[in-house]
Chains A and B, each alone.
Chain A
């Protein structure tokens, strides 16, 4: 898998018009490589999540381009973008967004169901990935019966069950204690990250910096610098 996984070129996103125009992200360019775990860090309001949304096909930029696996994202139609998100991206939302009325296994199966796989097949795959994240025995419980760390792992299982190439984590440790947060990210680093995968993590939790390959710093919508991660 040669080349960069993600290439962002002068991506900009602003809200409002005229005097009310405010840049959330301003001409950000960067590349992320296969097999890399890239952190996007910065204070609140620095544009981390907006940038992550633009390179995962969720938010259309006002200018600039984003290429993922050599595909120009923002030249795709809405349906193609949805397919791109479904097949290429695995999301781990800050609040997990697990379906509280479904079982853990059913939650994990959702991306496969969206891919039109049969319900039974989706549940079988789901069980396999729950095993990967160490929650095989919690398959039939609703997420509300799980701890924060366990819910995070369910969200990770859901993000990887359809084997996407790009994984995006938004503040994965925001609602976890330090020990659990480190365990989760360590698990992602050792078990989920492969040479054929690229992981982007938006965070401002310095306790997990040690697991990154590279850290991209942002402030006021701009990239202010790169640091080599401690895991290199």
Chain B
């Protein structure tokens, strides 16, 4: 294999072209799929951050990211009475406008937590979560959108729908929101009181089952009420599916990923094939000297595999570097490198290596040492 490696890297120009092609392809693939993964994660931010086991919602808005259909209070009572429900609490999620000190308005997402339990409360950075019960108390999330509220501190006052609001705590959440709006937490009662709403006010009912085995039964009972119950994972998947299949985002990402794959295959495949053709007489000489056909196949597989792996590493590194750099400058940049993305890019790069190698193997196996011998 040292010989295969030497033959591969000795031609620095060709090897660089091979690496650049594969790296560029992997970079594009990882970049595109990571952006998509970032969007998916941010779209599910409320679900992730609240972290309830089961979400009950009106099935009219199953995607839950663009809107939710408020539910009447009796649904909450009905859910609480289902066997296997440990507890069920209401959650408000809505949008409002905050008037800033400079006179401009900033849209915010307001999360109203159940007044008695504060289920779904964020992790506090400053202040005490119990202060949320104070008059006009709001907890602001210190995420990438925080600065849009003029970096409020504890005690900062603001105006929300002509109501006075006071920051009583600063919190953090694991995932920022997709639509670039700051998030404020308050109590459920205050949220529905401050923000104009429809006749019904419960955005979601958060359910904790007594045991995981009750989940199917609870879902069935909720369905009989005419509502939809999804586990945390199911809800995130539903949001992902909505974005993938009911918006153009999934198609665009898929298209760009396929284009990246084709670009990579074209550049790397063509370069590798040219590399093999230019070295054909060397392979023929090796064959004449006693190398077996399968040994030459191993050489080509090693060379294609080595290039693919090196390109993969460089491509992933480059993507990660650029994503990290972009997020450093633009914190709201939605991009997330996941194991699935890496696995998909790895699979594609293996296909590129396989196709490139196959073309080379066919040529090398066909060459006759006699052709080399007679010049």
Chain A interface residues toward B at CB < 8 A: 49-50, 52-53, 58-59, 78-79, 82-87, 89, 91, 93-95, 97, 99, 101-102, 106, 110-111, 113-114, 119, 170
B-side contacts of A89, CB under 8 Å: 290
- The count of residues in chain B whose C-beta lies closer than 8 Å to any C-beta of chain A is 26
Q: How many whole Å from A123's CB to the nearest CB in chain B?
A: 10
- CB pair B289 A86 closer than 8 Å: yes
- CB pair B282 A91 closer than 8 Å: no
Tell me which of B6, B7, B289, B292 has the highest count of chain A C-beta atoms within 10 A of its own C-beta: B289
A-side contacts of B372, CB under 8 Å: 93, 97
Complex-state Cα separation, A59 to B284, whole angstroms: 13
- CB pair A59 B370 closer than 8 Å: yes
**Interface of chain B, helix or strand or loop or mixed?**
helix
A-side contacts of B290, CB under 8 Å: 82-87, 89, 111, 114
- CB pair B2 A110 closer than 8 Å: no
Residues 324-375 of B at the A interface (beta carbon under 8 Å): 368-370, 372-375
- CB pair A114 B291 closer than 8 Å: yes
- CB pair B6 A102 closer than 8 Å: yes
A-side contacts of B7, CB under 8 Å: 99, 101-102
A-side contacts of B370, CB under 8 Å: 53, 58-59
- CB pair A78 B6 closer than 8 Å: no
B-side contacts of A85, CB under 8 Å: 288-290
- CB pair A170 B373 closer than 8 Å: yes
Contacting B292 at CB < 8 Å: which of A50, A79, A102? Answer: A79
Q: How many whole Å from B179's CB to the nearest CB in chain A?
A: 55
Q: How many whole Å from B325's CB to the nearest CB in chain A?
A: 36
B-side contacts of A82, CB under 8 Å: 287, 290-292
Q: How many whole Å from B316's CB to the nearest CB in chain A?
A: 29
Complex-state Cα separation, A110 to B287, whole angstroms: 12
Q: How many whole Å from A62's CB to the nearest CB in chain B?
A: 14
Would you call B11 an interface residue if the criterion is a C-beta within 8 Å of the partner chain's C-beta atoms? yes
Nearest A residue to B287 via CB reads: A82
Q: How many whole Å from A207's CB to the nearest CB in chain B?
A: 20
Can you list 17 contacts pairing A with B, beta carbon distance less than 8 Å?
Answer: A50-B374, A53-B369, A53-B370, A58-B370, A59-B370, A82-B290, A91-B289, A91-B373, A93-B285, A97-B282, A97-B284, A101-B6, A101-B7, A101-B11, A111-B289, A114-B286, A119-B3
Chain B interface residues toward A at CB < 8 A: 2-3, 6-7, 10-11, 281-282, 284-293, 295, 368-370, 372-375
B-side contacts of A58, CB under 8 Å: 288, 369-370, 373
Tell me which of A85, A87, A97 has the highest count of chain B C-beta atoms within 10 A of its own C-beta: A97
Q: Which 7 pairs from chain A and chain B are nearest by CB?
A: A86-B290, A101-B10, A97-B285, A85-B290, A59-B370, A119-B2, A82-B292
B-side contacts of A113, CB under 8 Å: 2-3
Complex-state Cα separation, A174 to B293, whole angstroms: 30
- CB pair B286 A78 closer than 8 Å: no
Q: How many whole Å from A170's CB to the nearest CB in chain B?
A: 6
A-side contacts of B368, CB under 8 Å: 59
B-side contacts of A97, CB under 8 Å: 281-282, 284-285, 372
B-side contacts of A91, CB under 8 Å: 288-289, 373
Nearest B residue to A60 via CB reads: B370
- CB pair B289 A114 closer than 8 Å: yes
- CB pair B375 A93 closer than 8 Å: yes
Complex-state Cα separation, A197 to B368, whole angstroms: 27
Nearest B residue to A142 via CB reads: B10
A-side contacts of B6, CB under 8 Å: 101-102, 106
A-side contacts of B3, CB under 8 Å: 110, 113, 119
A-side contacts of B292, CB under 8 Å: 78-79, 82
Nearest A residue to B11 via CB reads: A101
Q: How many whole Å from B368's CB to the nearest CB in chain A?
A: 8
Q: How many whole Å from A28's CB to the nearest CB in chain B?
A: 16
Contacting B373 at CB < 8 Å: which of A49, A79, A110, A114? Answer: A49
Q: How many whole Å from A136's CB to the nearest CB in chain B?
A: 21
Complex-state Cα separation, A83 to B93, whole angstroms: 76
Other 20 A-B pairs with CB < 8 A, given A53-B369, A102-B10 = A49-B373, A58-B370, A59-B368, A59-B373, A78-B292, A82-B290, A82-B291, A85-B289, A86-B290, A93-B372, A95-B375, A97-B281, A97-B284, A97-B372, A102-B7, A110-B286, A114-B286, A114-B290, A119-B2, A170-B373
- CB pair B374 A49 closer than 8 Å: yes
Complex-state Cα separation, A82 to B290, whole angstroms: 4
A-side contacts of B282, CB under 8 Å: 97, 99
Nearest A residue to B295 via CB reads: A114
Q: How many whole Å from A159's CB to the nearest CB in chain B?
A: 9
Nearest B residue to A96 via CB reads: B285
Q: How many whole Å from A93's CB to the nearest CB in chain B?
A: 7
Nearest B residue to A111 via CB reads: B289
Q: How many whole Å from B299's CB to the nearest CB in chain A?
A: 11
